[in-house]
Amino acid sequence: MLALISVAATGKPQQCLKTEKTDIIVETLAGGLDHPWGLAFLPDGRLLVSERAGHLRVVSAEGEVSRPLDGTPSVHIAEGGLLDVALDPGFAENRLVYLTYGEPREDGAATAAGRGRLNPASTALENFQVIFRQQPVGTSDYHHFGSRLVFTSDGKLFISTGDRFNSDLSQDLSADMGKIIRINPDGLVPFDNPFANRQGARPEIWSYGHRNIQGLAIHPDTGALWEGEFGPTGGDEINIIEPGHNYGWPLVSWGEHVDGRSIPKPPTRPDLADAIQHWTPSISFSGMTFYTGKAIPAWRGNLLLAGLASQALIRLTLNGSRVSGEERIPMGERIRHVVQGPDDSVYLLTDEDHGRILRLTSER
Ligand SMILES: [Ca+2]
């Protein structure tokens, strides 16, 4: 558990977290954030953090939080709002910042992604343009917007979505609900997407049969896309994504419908891609990241998950494509996201009214 141990040279209180493999120093880098959701590191050492209510802010290396940037899109909050933030792989030259969010539409709301140029003063996104709009608009205003952004080493952009609480759409290739989307950064669809030439299918779809995906990360060694999604009642999943594969929702699930209806068993089928790991009861995790850094040597090669209802950092050891062990590290707060920083520290976002950015390193 957390115990206050000292005040760092930066003036920030530090706490010691005893974990199975190593003692961790936890420092609050910044506080006073309104349900922070996504995090990206600028090349100059500052951070970009999104807040669910629609604000994007710059945080200095010393933890000073800026006023909201101008030029960001209006958002529909509910379970959506402003979601993930990512930098263009060529950010040093083009200063492009990508956002994903719940977009208010004339007839409801749905997930969208767009990009704008961070101005030289880092006070605004200029010329923000939408590059992806989930179609059709969902029937629910409230639930399951996803969404994370991940760039691949070959410059493609993955966007995860949710089923908008209309689970049948996850199996419908004419809808973007419950899908992983793959586009070029300018919004055009790559010609080699699995359904690019299928009549009636949306060409931007990369995989389908998902429920609500808020975890997305590329394996550092294999380059494979790994995904985490919320189950209904139980049945949270991690999947390894292959293009064109069907991940089963709502035909099969390791959980049950939230209204108590049961989902036909067996929980998997040979013609559907099964999760590599699943949890019942739910651990309810959002962001996930592979840890490859030097700051916490004992965690190298592990997969870290940000636990919401479980109020924990969840550390998974891996054996190839199999989960070989699990440690739940209680944090006492809902954790929305986990990211490895350029200094190899682990950064967490707490999903609270007075949300914080926490920095974790090994005790030295
Ligand atoms: Ca599944």
**What percent of the chain stands above pLDDT 70?**
96
Question: Residue 194 has what pLDDT?
Answer: 98
* Among 107, 110, 88, CA closest to 99: 88
Do the bridges between strand 2-7 and strand 13-18 make them parallel or antiparallel, or are there none, so unpaired?
antiparallel
14-23 mean pLDDT: 94
Active site residue 219: no
Q: What's the length of the chain?
A: 364
* Among 203, 89, 210, CA closest to 145: 210
pLDDT tops 60 at residue 1: no
Alpha-helix residue ranges (DSSP H) falling in 151-272: none
Residue 5 — pLDDT band, cuts 50, 70, 90?
low
Distance 21 CA to ligand 1 centre (A): 31
pLDDT tops 70 at residue 11: no
Q: pLDDT for 221-241, tens place per residue?
A: 999 999 999 999 999 999 999
Q: pLDDT for 260-272, tens place per residue?
A: 888 877 888 999 9
Instruction: Work out the mean pLDDT of the chain and round it to a whole number.
Output: 95
Task: For the domain made up of 39-307, give the CATH fold.
Answer: Neuraminidase (2.120.10)
Cβ-in-10-Å burial (0-12, 13-18, 19+) of 346 comes to buried
Distance 232 CA to ligand 1 centre (A): 11
Question: Residue 3 has what pLDDT?
Answer: 63
Distance 136 CA to ligand 1 centre (A): 22
**What percent of the chain stands above pLDDT 90?**
89
pLDDT tops 80 at residue 48: yes
Distance 80 CA to ligand 1 centre (A): 22
Residue 13 — pLDDT band, cuts 50, 70, 90?
confident
Q: Which two tokens stand for residue 215?
A: 């975890």
pLDDT tops 90 at residue 2: no
Distance 270 CA to ligand 1 centre (A): 12
Distance 352 CA to ligand 1 centre (A): 29
Higher pLDDT residue, 106 or 134? 134
pLDDT tops 80 at residue 343: yes
Residue 152 — pLDDT band, cuts 50, 70, 90?
very high
Q: Which two tokens stand for residue 5?
A: 């141990």
Distance 231 CA to ligand 1 centre (A): 8
Backbone conformation region of residue 358, classed left if phi is above 0, alpha if psi is from -120 to 50, else beta: beta
Question: Residue 258 has what pLDDT?
Answer: 85
Distance 194 CA to ligand 1 centre (A): 19
Distance 248 CA to ligand 1 centre (A): 5
Distance, CA of 350 to CA of 343 (rounded, Å)? 20
Q: What is the DSSP string of 271-329?
A: TSPPPSEEESS---EEEEEE---SSSGGGTT-EEEEESTT-EEEEEEEETTEEEEEEEE
35-48 mean pLDDT: 98
Distance, CA of 93 to CA of 134 (rounded, Å)? 29
Question: Residue 364 has what pLDDT?
Answer: 65
Between 136-145, 183-192, 271-280, 323-332, the lowest mean confidence (pLDDT) is in: 136-145
- Residue 43 C-beta-side C-alpha neighbours within 13 Å: 12
Residue tagged active-site, from 76, 144, 278, 337: 144
Distance 233 CA to ligand 1 centre (A): 13
Collect all residues with Cβ–Cβ distance below 8 Å to 115 and sequence separation of at least 6: 88, 96, 97, 98, 99, 128, 129, 131, 185
Distance 122 CA to ligand 1 centre (A): 40
